[in-house]
Amino acid sequence: MADGSAWRSERQEGTSDRTAPSRQVIGSSIAVRDVVKTYGSFRAADNISLDVQPGEFITLLGPSGSGKTTLLNLVAGFQKINGGEILVDGRPIHNVPTHRRGFGMVFQSYALFPNMTVTQNVAFPMRMAGLDRQTTERRVAETLEMMRLSEHAAKLPTQMSGGQQQRVAIARAIVMRPKVVLMDEPLSALDRRLRESIQIELRDLHQRLGSTILFVTHDQGEALTMSDRIAVLDGGRIVQVGNPVDIYRHPANRFVASFVGESNLIDAEIMQKRGSTMTLRTRGGYVFAAESASGIDVGRATVLVRPERIVVGDAPLANTMPVTVTSALFLGEILRIEARTASGETLLIRSADGADRRLPSVGETLHVGWRAEDCWVLA
Ligand code: ATP
């Protein structure tokens, strides 16, 4: 639990968030430098470096076993690093025990005290820090209000739903107004609708709180929704750090392209390169233009085309190719179509529903294409 120094410390003005430049920031910077964590000969964290800005909401995203929790635990102090260093506001924290780091923490299991009311649970860190009763009552009331829990103040955890219990756990983690909040898959036990509504609440809370949030998830949608920046992990390494738009539109490699969002990865040959625009040809002879990162040269390449960027028509046009529909599903807001090209590649297409949209039949021929700015040549 956090000690009193966390919230007693001076608040400072800051402007690290790109969406709300004037908001108040109380968060710390976190610098992870060449951090290594080994279990025997296995490297769970393999030379990880990451700079987190004060007040930033940064998400560690990756598949199971990629090292997200390991990194979070190293920052929290639950585990000791084998190499490198972690600095908070420029100061090394290796010798600071977890309870003295002043971080708020939220885990997948709510870990509430079952015999305490909501108020008592949320007040617990303040009582432990020896804060006076008046301050505690005021701060707890404010925090319950922030988390829309005021009407549940007198309830025991067992009298509340999973989503409400997790909101209590979040309230308890932020009641001290910590400079850093660490969250490890806090929403993964909740159903989809609840998860989505708490995601939006958490984003809003982060804006108001101004703390630095380090959030772990394997859910790419969650990461895209909430984060200022996302660090994508694979095999104990960070493979890309960027804002959600960049990660989604300009993934660094095939792994990020397929882990974040649905993707069509098309093999093609680079025929020409002019600035950042390339002309490519697929195996089946479809010639198209695409944007690319720097440093990619002539030769074979993989091109990412997101399913929602594919334009579908009934008739052939310049720059379209014929495909045969192999599956077509109506999912409400979108039509999800799978189709095969003449050279045997499968394309996934997602088209927004509309009054003039018709669900094609299996076996039908469609004509598809994409614009240069809608595809991305992977490094
Ligand atoms: P998940 O989403 O499943 O929680 P993760 O990305 O958080 O995965 P970690 O829990 O950080 O992954 O684990 C990273 C790797 O380190 C895994 O291969 C795991 O088996 C290994 N590992 C973690 N803790 C230990 C331990 N105490 N002893 C040995 N190996 C461990």
Helix, strand, coil percentages for the chain (3-state, nearest 5): 25, 35, 40
- 233 lies in the same domain as 332: no
Q: How many other CB atoms are found less than 10 A from the CB of residue 149?
A: 21
C-alpha distances (whole Å) from 156 to each of 69, 122, 128, 140, 162 are 29, 12, 20, 16, 12
**237 and 293 co-located in one domain:** no
| Measured torsion, CA atoms of residues 121, 127, 128, 129, in degrees rounded to the nearest 10 | 130
Report which ligand 1 atom has the smallest distance to the Cα of 71.
11
Phi-psi region of 225 (alpha: psi -120 to 50; beta: other; left: phi over 0): alpha
Q: Within the chain, how many helices (H) and strands (E) appear? A: 9, 22
CA distance 231 to 242: 7
Averaged pLDDT, 303-319: 88
Q: Is residue 13 part of a domain?
A: no
In this structure, are 235 and 278 located in the same domain? no
Backbone angles phi, psi at 111, to 5 degrees: 50, 45
Could you tell me if 199 and 213 are in contact, meaning their C-beta atoms sit under 8 angstroms apart? no
When divided into structural domains, the chain yields a total of: 2
Residue 136 lies in a domain: no
CB 195 within 8 A of CB 187: yes
Q: What is the mean pLDDT of residues 176-203?
A: 90
Q: Of 109-123, 158-172, 292-306, which gets the smallest average pLDDT?
A: 292-306
Beta strands in 149-263 (DSSP E): 180-184, 212-217, 229-234, 237-242
**Domain final position from 254, 281, 296:** 254
Distance 72 CA to ligand 1 centre (A): 11
Q: Which of 230, 254, 278 is the C-terminal boundary of a domain?
A: 254
**What is the CB neighbour count within 10 angstroms for residue 90?**
8
Same domain, yes or no, for 322 and 266? yes
Q: Mean pLDDT, to the nearest integer, of 335-355?
A: 93
- Please tell me whether residues 342 and 271 are part of one structural domain: yes
Task: Report the pLDDT value the prediction gives residue 57, as an integer from 0 to 100.
Answer: 97
**Ligand 1 atom, smallest distance to 70 CA:** 11
- CATH at residue 324: 2.40.50.140
Shortest-distance Cα residue to atom 22 of ligand 1? 44
- Residue 51: which residues within 8 A CB-CB, separation 6 or more? 29, 30, 31, 32
Residue 37 within any structural domain of the chain: yes
CA of 42 to the centre of ligand 1 (A): 10
Residue 127 forms part of a structural domain: no
In a domain, 42, yes or no: yes
Whether the Cβ atoms of residue 227 and residue 56 lie closer than 8 Å to each other: no
- Residue 47 sits in a domain whose CATH number is 3.40.50.300
pLDDT digits (tens, 9 = 90+) for 239-293: 999 999 999 999 999 999 999 999 999 999 999 888 888 999 998 889 999 988 7
Least confident of 52-56, 167-171, 223-227, 298-302: 298-302
Nearest CA to ligand 1 atom 3: 64
Q: How far is the C-alpha of 369 from the C-alpha of 322, rounded, in Å?
A: 9
What atom of ligand 1 comes closest to residue 62's alpha carbon? 6
Tokens 């700079």 correspond to 51
* Residues with a CB atom less than 6 Å from ligand 1: 39, 44, 62, 64-70, 218
Give the domain extent around 347: 262-377
Q: What is the pLDDT of residue 148?
A: 87
**Helix 118-128 and helix 162-174, axial crossing angle in degrees, nearest 10:** 20
Contact 159, 149 (CB under 8 A): no
Q: Is residue 16 part of a domain?
A: no
46, 59, 69: which to mutate for ligand 1, most atoms within 8 A of CB? 69
**Separation of alpha carbons 286 and 48, rounded Å:** 41
Tell me: do 210 and 73 sit in the same domain. Answer: yes
Alpha carbon separation from 192 to 157, 171, 187, 199, 268 (Å, rounded):
21, 21, 9, 10, 37
Pocket perturbation via mutation, ligand 1, pick of 41, 66, 237, 259 by most ligand atoms within 8 A of CB: 66
Q: Whose CA is nearest to atom 16 of ligand 1?
A: 44
Please state whether 329 falls in left (phi above 0), alpha (psi between -120 and 50) or beta: beta
DSSP at 98 = G
- Comparing C-alpha atoms, which of 152, 136, 155 is closest to residue 144? 152
End position of a domain, from candidates 254, 281, 299? 254
User: What is the rounded distance in angstroms from the CA atom of residue 103 to the CA atom of residue 8?
Assistant: 13
So what's the pLDDT on residue 21? 52
Least confident range of 18-27, 102-111, 273-282 = 18-27
Protein residue with its CA nearest to atom 25 in ligand 1: 39
Q: What's the rounded mean pLDDT across residues 144-165?
A: 92
Quick one: which atom of ligand 1 is closest to the CA of 72?
11
* Distance (Å, whole) CA 275 – CA 68: 37
Of all residues in the chain, the percent with pLDDT exceeding 70 is: 94
Q: With bands split at pLDDT 50, 70 and 90, how would you rate the model's confidence at 224?
A: very high
Same domain flag for 239 and 274: no
Same-domain pairing of 319 and 199? no
Which of 32, 35, 38, 68 should be mutated for ligand 1, with most atoms under 8 A from CB?
68
pTM given for the model: 0.88
112-116, 193-197, 285-289: least confidently modelled range: 193-197
Altogether, the residues listed in the chain come to a count of 379
Quick one: 247 and 310 in the same domain?
A: no
Whether 17 maps to a domain, the answer reads no
CA of 83 from ligand 1 middle (Å) equals 17
| 221 and 310 both lie in a single domain | no
Are 231 and 286 within one domain? no
Strand partners, 106: 183
Where b means 16+ CB within 10 Å and e means fewer, 297-331 reads eeeebbbbbbbebbebeeeeeebbbebebeebeee
In a domain, 157, yes or no: no
**Bridging pattern class, strands 334-341 and 346-352:** antiparallel
Is 66 in the same domain as 99? yes
Q: Over 80: is that where the pLDDT of 171 sits?
A: yes
Question: 66 CA to middle of ligand 1, Å?
Answer: 7
